[in-house]
Amino acid sequence: MHRPARADVPTLVVGVLGVGTSGPLIAATRAPSLAIAFWRNAIGAAVLAPYALLRHRAELRSLSRGQWLLALASGLCLGLHFSTWTPSLTMTSVASATAFAATQPIFAALIARLRGEHVARRAWTGILVSVLGVVALSGVDLRLSLHAFLGDLLALAAAVLAAIYMTLGSKVRQTVSLTPYATVCYGTASCTLALIAAVGGQHLLGFGSNAWLKILALTAGAQLLGHTMFNRALKTTSATVVSVVILLEVPIAALLAAVWLGQVPSIWALPGAVLILAGLVAVGTASGAHHEADPATGG
């Protein structure tokens, strides 16, 4: 661990504030969950595409079949991630959903171990602590309702899919610039979500102007500004530091949900959330437990 470069501090602050608004905005948007997920990716891809085509056209043409397949697979996993993360926010509290989705580094460490990479003992300790927190927090939500518990499970599934997305994306990013990769990834995710919405019978249009304003705010803040700021900081600040900073999304989202939506977490839920965060800090700061890649998650 090392402190971020001084110039990166405001960048990281803006980034974490951007992704911290994701959960509350989604929960407050009166639109089908898959429509919200589709439009944030589709608009994000549309914003990036002109720059990618103008500045990286030659790079896009030179991408190999393997690079395309990895980028498309990463976008597929991102779409599946949003198809579970977004509905979870309508089933359980913003605080719980964000805490469960934040367990992505645990699954990233497990995937790294399956790939034969070293995972430090400190990371395994952090995983155990976080799992205990997951059990505690999910137990509290199960006492509240089965619906909330199922929302927790969806958020956990979102964390797994985010870890796979990150693993694939990190491999692509070794040889492909950020803008071309993000354009292909977001575009593929939006196509995936459109297909899931069609199969599930969810409409992608037909909601009010207030919902559109919130979707635009979500796209500008969490999808573009938040993720872009983190990727910018990665040039001079390690992925470990950035990953730990992203954990601040959990208390920010919980605070915004409490003030804006009146979702005050139960006192019994706090120990579970604290255990999850403590474990994730241990995982994120353990040597060998992380990838030098884009750390952006579910937000």
Contact between residue 253 and residue 86 where contact means Cβ atoms under 8 Å apart: no
Mean pLDDT within 7-17? 84
pLDDT score at 244: 67
Question: What is the share, in percent, of the chain residues with pLDDT greater than 90?
Answer: 44
CA 240/CA 220 separation, integer angstroms: 25
Tokens 């390690």, residue located: 238
Tell whether 292 is covered by a domain.
Answer: no
Contact between residue 79 and residue 189 where contact means Cβ atoms under 8 Å apart: yes
Of residues 212 and 163, more confidently modeled = 212
For the stretch 255-299, pLDDT in tens is 899 899 998 877 877 888 888 888 877 876 775 444 444 444 456
For 122, the token pair is 């400190």
Mean pLDDT within 133-144? 80
Mean pLDDT within 226-249? 68
Rounded to 5, what percent of the chain is helix, strand, coil? 75, 0, 25
Tell whether 277 is covered by a domain.
Answer: yes
Tell whether 198 is covered by a domain.
Answer: yes
Cβ-Cβ contacts under 8 Å for 271 (sequence gap 6 or more): 133, 136
Tell whether 218 is covered by a domain.
Answer: yes
Cβ-Cβ contacts under 8 Å for 124 (sequence gap 6 or more): none
Question: What is the share, in percent, of the chain residues with pLDDT greater than 70?
Answer: 89
Above 90 in pLDDT, residue 161?
Answer: yes
Tell whether 294 is covered by a domain.
Answer: no
pLDDT score at 123: 79
Could you give the 3-state DSSP secondary structure of residue 265?
coil
Tell whether 90 is covered by a domain.
Answer: yes
Query: How many other β-carbons are positioned within 10 Å of the β-carbon of residue 255?
Result: 14
Tell whether 262 is covered by a domain.
Answer: yes
Of residues 75 and 169, more confidently modeled = 75
For the stretch 22-52, pLDDT in tens is 999 999 999 999 999 999 999 999 999 999 9
Contact between residue 12 and residue 229 where contact means Cβ atoms under 8 Å apart: yes
For 100, the token pair is 């469960």
pLDDT score at 293: 41
Tell whether 293 is covered by a domain.
Answer: no
- The parent domain of residue 87 ranges over 8-284
pLDDT score at 57: 95
Instruction: Give how many domains the chain has, as a whole number.
Output: 1
**In degrees to the nearest 10, what's the CA dihedral of 47, 48, 50, 53?**
-160
What's the burial of 251, exposed, middle or buried (CB within 10 Å: 0-12/13-18/19+)? middle
Q: DSSP letters along 148-194, please?
A: HHHHHHHHHHHHHHHHHHHHHHHHHHTTS-HHHHHHHHHHHHHHHHH
Mean pLDDT of the chain: 85
pLDDT score at 174: 82
Above 60 in pLDDT, residue 239?
Answer: no
How far, CA to CA in Å, does 281 sit from each of 105, 124, 127, 240, 287?
A: 9, 12, 10, 10, 12
Name the residue type at position 56.
Answer: H
pLDDT score at 129: 87
CA 28/CA 31 separation, integer angstroms: 9
CA 68/CA 74 separation, integer angstroms: 10
Could you give the 3-state DSSP secondary structure of residue 209?
helix
